[in-house]
Amino acid sequence: MSRMQRVGLEELPRHLETTYRTRVVRIEELDRGTYRVERAEGPSWIARLFPAERPLDQTRGDAEILRVLAELEFPAERCAAPDPVSVLEGQAVLVTEFVPGVPRAGRREAIRNAGGLAALGWLLGRLHTLPSSGATARPGGAWHHLADGPPGAEIAALGRLLDDAERPVDLTGVALYETLKEQVRALDDGGGLPECFVHPDFVLANVVAPPTGGLVLVDWTGAGQAARAWSLAFLLWSVGFAGDLLRVDRIVAGYRRHVIPEPDELERLEALIRVRPTVFNTWAFCTGRKTLAEAAASITANCDAAAAIADRARSAFTSR
């Protein structure tokens, strides 16, 4: 079964009602395998339904990580029940509290009022200084739609997906496909660089701005130990790929209050920034969401952006 597939969705409301003695009013899909659960009594929950091939212990580790973050008072979603992990048709289910955000129209202003990108960089730096033990010490950092474990597992899974993809037969397509394979093989997983506890997708898409203020990070699936530059690189790409490098400066200004990257990390930053856009575009080709030509063009454009983002970040980190 694919990591994107789920079964028994129609049974999820009854499963939650039986397991937690609650009454489900409505379920809304927010993302693949992620559902908002409106209950008759009490606030809404988030239910994450994982594919059967994902080991149950991984989901239990996700729950343990959320408990650790709560103990450390890090702004993250919280478990919704004392035992938040259950099993539906061989698939792990994790329930967490739904974190309400301000209306979409006011989101940008709310994030700005909470400190903006500098505050986001500050939170990532703080995360990278947290102590590691138990589940937070497990290998992590991989994009969970591809793999669990360290970044190398994500890259390896992408390579297998590309090997299994339908290959072009025309000369131009064959050349693009072989180039893409070489690019995937050359991706940097951050091996040998300083490691810490990381969130695999520490980007604005996973930030909630509650009406009460502040910023809350959600979707901790697959969090664990990885190169801290791996996590930083993705955040830098996410704010800088459109060309506004002032946004890179703001992330660095917040992050450096906790962490100053070592020279090796700065040297490999460009290679690390290239990884996720290459992963996303290759995955999009392999799953039929993009043509090979579209994926190759996007990867080339993002490589150019990665160089500019890395140069800007190095300057910001090394300036006094």
* Residues 229-241 pLDDT 10s: 999 999 999 999 9
Residue 173: pLDDT band with limits 50, 70, 90? very high
Domain extent at residue 51 = 9-97
Q: State whether 143 and 263 are in the same domain.
A: yes
What pLDDT is stored for residue 134 in this prediction? 86
Residue 285: pLDDT band with limits 50, 70, 90? very high
* φ and ψ of 34, to 5 deg: -120, 125
Residue 207: pLDDT over 50: yes
- For residue 189, tell me if it sits in a domain: yes
- For residue 304, tell me if it sits in a domain: yes
What is the rounded distance in angstroms from the CA atom of residue 251 to the CA atom of residue 231?
A: 12
> How many Cβ atoms from other residues are within 10 Å of residue 155's Cβ?
22
Please report, for residues 15, 48, 50, 64, 84, the alpha-carbon distance to residue 150 in angstroms, rounded to integers and kept in the order given: 32, 21, 18, 18, 24
Domain boundary pick from 71, 97, 123: 97
Q: Are 145 and 4 in contact (CB under 8 A)?
A: yes
Residue ranges of alpha helices (H) inside the chain are 12-20, 56-71, 107-113, 116-127, 151-164, 171-185, 228-240, 246-255, 263-267, 269-286, 292-318
- For residue 18, tell me if it sits in a domain: yes
Q: State whether 118 and 89 are in the same domain.
A: no
Summary mean pLDDT of the chain:
95
Q: State whether 160 and 233 are in the same domain.
A: yes
Q: State whether 115 and 255 are in the same domain.
A: yes
Least confident residue range of 22-26, 91-95, 163-167? 163-167
Q: State whether 52 and 175 are in the same domain.
A: no
User: Which CATH number belongs to the domain containing residue 55 in this structure?
Assistant: 3.30.200.20
Q: State whether 139 and 19 are in the same domain.
A: no
Q: State whether 69 and 120 are in the same domain.
A: no
> How many Cβ atoms from other residues are within 10 Å of residue 313's Cβ?
25
Q: State whether 85 and 139 are in the same domain.
A: no
User: Which CATH number belongs to the domain containing residue 151 in this structure?
Assistant: 3.90.1200.10
Q: Are 6 and 33 in contact (CB under 8 A)?
A: yes
Domain count, the chain: 2
Chain centroid, CA 80 distance in Å: 21
- For residue 1, tell me if it sits in a domain: no
* Residues 53-91 pLDDT 10s: 999 999 999 999 999 999 999 999 999 999 999 999 999
Q: Are 230 and 195 in contact (CB under 8 A)?
A: no
Q: State whether 146 and 294 are in the same domain.
A: yes
Q: State whether 58 and 188 are in the same domain.
A: no
Paired tokens of 290: 């993009």
* Residues 87-113 pLDDT 10s: 999 999 999 999 999 999 999 999 999
Q: State whether 227 and 266 are in the same domain.
A: yes
